[in-house]
Amino acid sequence: MRMSEWLTTHLEKNDDHRNLGYPFGFMDEGAKREIRRAVLKAVAIPGYQVPYGSREMPIARGWGTGGLQITLSLVTPEDVLKVIDQGCDDSVNAVNIKTFVAKVAGIPVTTDTVMASLIQTRHRIPEEPMSRDQILVLQVPYPEALREVEPSEAETRRMHAEADYARMWLYLYEDIVRFGEITISYRYPVTVNGRYIMDPSPIPRWDVPKLHRAETLFLFGAGREKRIYAVPPHTDVVPLEFEDHLFRVEDFSDKFCARCGATDTFLDEIIDSENGGRTYFCSDTGYCAKRSVS
């Protein structure tokens, strides 16, 4: 059965949504179809940025409209949604998006990574490994990984087409020569499927290895820049590194979460404004809460 037929039959059952004055999932069917097509193309060419017609959303561009449009075009009445912002389930932006999607699709929300079927995120990948039945939608501010070295869009497209990536590597070389190591802390460029260099969105380096040969489908949406790209399950995602200067993640040795005691998670540093003391907390609040309870 086709997705549209399935949705139509399902919508007829959910009469309450038909009376709200907008279609299921807020966007009209034509818009959703276009975005799904862009997503399919992105999955077919891992790491390639597919242009699409970014729609006007009830939140401003730059606040997650790219991720939101993917979420709305994929959501089904059986989904369970989780939305996080820098790992946090309770930030204003995450709560707003979560409430909005829950309302226009009539679906339940959760803060538990394992319970969710669809997760929209800003700048983090959840700590708990995700399964093949889940989809992670990442919000992307700057989809072009080469923008740092080349301001022209026409030129970066040519560079991608010809796999002309020497300048990106040169940027890393210069970093190493000047500072002794690569200083990119987030938005670390990766090679996807041995072909395209891709911006993994501003996730910390900690999260980059999670993209490599994962079980889950990762979808990246940039609403302002009008691009969608994807990392399908079991795809090679390799951070740019030199043989004698390997990629490494953030070092949290000797540090632990003050709340749940975790030593194996990405930690946020909190500085006490009165005595200058440093404490650390899990950036992934859902995971931290789960561990604190058990």
Partner 1 sequence: MNPEKPLIRVRALGKRFGEGCIRCKGVTDPEAASNRCPRCGTIHALSGVSFDVYPNEALGVVGESGSGKSTLVRLLHFEWTADRGSFHIHRRAVTGPMTETFFNGDEYSYNLLDISPFQKRQIRNALMGIVYQNPNLGLRMQVSSGGNIAERLIAAGFRRIGTMRERAGGLLEKTEIPVARMDEAPSRFSGGMQQRVQIAKALSNNPLILFLDEVTTGLDLSVQARVLDLIRSLKDELKLSMLVVSHDLGVIRLLCQRTLVMKSGCVVESGLTDQILEDPQHRYTQLLVSSRL
Q: Based on CB atoms, which residue is closest to partner 1, 8 or 183?
A: 183
**Quick one: DSSP state of residue 193?**
T
Q: Based on CB atoms, which residue is closest to partner 1, 40 or 166?
A: 166
Residue of 47, 64, 67, 221 marked active site = 47
Which phi-psi region, left, alpha or beta, contains residue 105 (left: φ > 0; alpha: ψ -120 to 50)?
Answer: alpha
Q: Based on CB atoms, which residue is closest to partner 1, 92 or 246?
A: 246
Q: Helix, strand or coil for residue 164? A: coil
In angstroms, what is the minimal distance from the CB of 125 to partner 1?
27
88 an active-site residue? no
Q: Based on CB atoms, which residue is closest to partner 1, 3 or 170?
A: 170
Question: From CA 14, how far away is CA 24, in angstroms rounded?
Answer: 9
Q: Based on CB atoms, which residue is closest to partner 1, 163 or 270?
A: 163
Indicate whether 247 belongs to the interface with partner 1 (CB under 8 A): no
47 an active-site residue? yes
In angstroms, what is the minimal distance from the CB of 184 to partner 1?
16
Report the number of secondary-structure helices (H) and strands (E) in the chain. 8, 11
In angstroms, what is the minimal distance from the CB of 247 to partner 1?
12
Q: Helix, strand or coil for residue 218? A: strand
**In the window 225-244, what residues touch partner 1 (CB under 8 A)?**
242-244
- Do strands 50-51 and 227-231 pair parallel, antiparallel, or not at all (unpaired)? antiparallel
The pattern of x and - marking residues 153 through 192 that bind partner 1 according to CB under 8 A reads -----x--xxxx-xx-xx--xx-xxx--------------
Kindly tell me the burial class for residue 184, based on how many C-beta atoms sit within 10 Å of its own C-beta (0-12, 13-18, 19 or more). Answer: middle
What is the maximum alpha-carbon separation in the chain? 64
Question: From CA 189, how far away is CA 146, in angstroms rounded?
Answer: 9
**In the window 129-158, what residues touch partner 1 (CB under 8 A)?**
158
Bridge partners (DSSP) of residue 85 are 88, 122
Residue of 64, 66, 221, 288 marked active site = 288
In angstroms, what is the minimal distance from the CB of 217 to partner 1?
29
- Do strands 196-198 and 237-239 pair parallel, antiparallel, or not at all (unpaired)? unpaired
**139 in Cβ contact with 85 (< 8 Å):** no
Q: Which residues are annotated as catalytic?
A: 47, 257, 260, 282, 288
Provide the binding-site residues for partner 1, judged by CB under 8 A.
158, 161-164, 166-167, 169-170, 173-174, 176-178, 242-245
